[in-house]
Structure 1
Amino acid sequence: MKNKRHSIKDIASELKVSITTVSFVLNGKAKEKRISDEVAAKILKYTDEINYKPNQLAQSLRTGKTHILVFMVEDISNYFFSKIARIIEDIAYKKGYKVLFCSNENNDERSRELIQLFYERQVDGFIIIPSPGIKDQIQMLIENKIPVVLFDRFFPDLETNYVILDNQNATYKGTLHLMESNFKKIGFITVDVAQTQMVDRLKGYQKALRENGLEEYVLKIPFNETGSKSGKKLFLEFIKENPDLDAVFFSTNYLTQVGLEVIQEKFPQKVYEFGIITFDDNDLFKIYTPSISAVAQPLEKIGKELMNIMFDLLESGAEKKPLHKVVLEAKLKVRNSSKAGIL
Structure 2
Amino acid sequence: MKKRTLIHDIAKHLEVSIATVSLVLNGKAKEHRISDALATRVLKYVEEVGYKPNQLAKSLRTGKTHVIGLLVEDIANPFFATVAGLIERHALARGYHILYCSTENDTAKAKDLIAMLQDRHIDGYIIAPPAGVEKEIEALLRNGIPTVLFDRYLPSVPTDYIVVDGEAGAYEAACHLLDQGLKHVAFLTTESDQTQMAARLGGYARAMQAHGQPLTVQRIPLAFEGDKEHSVVAIGQFLEDNPTCEAIIFANNSLTVYGLEAIARLKRRIPQDVAVISFDDNDLFRLHSPPITAVAQPVEALAETLINVLLDGLDTTRLTPPDRQQIVLPLSLVVRGSSVR
Per the normalisation by structure 1, the TM-score is 0.94
Separation in 2, partners of 1:136, 1:62:
30
Deviation at 1:275, TM superposition (A): 1.2
Alignment match, 1:298: 298
* 2:55 is the counterpart of 1:63: no
Range moving further from structure 2, 28-37 or 81-90: 28-37
Alignment match, 1:274: 274
Counterpart secondary structure, 1:112: helix
Counterpart secondary structure, 2:70: strand
* 2:336 is the counterpart of 1:332: no
CA contact (8 A) 2:270 2:338 kept: no
* 2:322 is the counterpart of 1:321: yes
Alignment match, 1:119: 118
Separation in 2, partners of 1:317, 1:273:
60
Range moving further from structure 2, 280-289 or 5-14: 5-14
| Structure 2, gaps ≥5 residues long | none
Alignment match, 2:244: 244
1:202-253 Cα deviation digits (max 9, x unpaired): 0000000001110111011123303323322321221122111000000000
Deviation at 1:269, TM superposition (A): 3.2
**Equivalent residue runs for 1:218-257 within 5 Å:** 218-228=217-227, 229-257=229-257
Q: Which letter does structure 1 place at the counterpart of 2:182?
A: F
Separation in 2, partners of 1:223, 1:296:
24
1:37-60 Cα deviation digits (max 9, x unpaired): 433232122213333221111111
Aligned CA distance change for structure 1 residues 173 and 316 (closer, same or farther; 3 Å)? farther
Alignment match, 1:203: 202
Separation in 2, partners of 1:165, 1:316:
29
Deviation at 1:93, TM superposition (A): 1.1
Deviation at 1:4, TM superposition (A): 6.4
Alignment match, 1:193: 192
Separation in 2, partners of 1:317, 1:20:
23
CA contact (8 A) 2:75 2:102 kept: yes
Aligned CA distance change for structure 1 residues 13 and 266 (closer, same or farther; 3 Å)? same
Question: CA RMSD of the aligned region, Å?
Answer: 1.6
**Equivalent residue runs for 1:40-189 within 5 Å:** 40-189=39-188
Alignment match, 2:259: 259
Separation in 2, partners of 1:231, 1:38:
67
Count of aligned pairs: 338
1:100-127 Cα deviation digits (max 9, x unpaired): 1110001000000000000111011110
Q: Which letter does structure 2 place at the counterpart of 1:134?
A: V
Range moving further from structure 2, 33-42 or 258-267: 33-42
Separation in 2, partners of 1:95, 1:49:
27
> Percent identity at matched positions?
43
CA contact (8 A) 1:226 1:255 kept: no
Counterpart secondary structure, 2:315: helix
CA contact (8 A) 1:263 1:271 kept: no
Separation in 2, partners of 1:317, 1:267:
62
Q: Which letter does structure 1 place at the counterpart of 2:245?
A: L
Separation in 1, partners of 2:117, 2:192:
26
Which segments of structure 1 move beyond 6 Å, counting only runs of 4 or more?
none
Range moving further from structure 2, 230-239 or 94-103: 230-239
Deviation at 1:153, TM superposition (A): 0.2
Deviation at 1:296, TM superposition (A): 0.3
CA contact (8 A) 1:73 1:81 kept: yes
Separation in 1, partners of 2:249, 2:162:
24
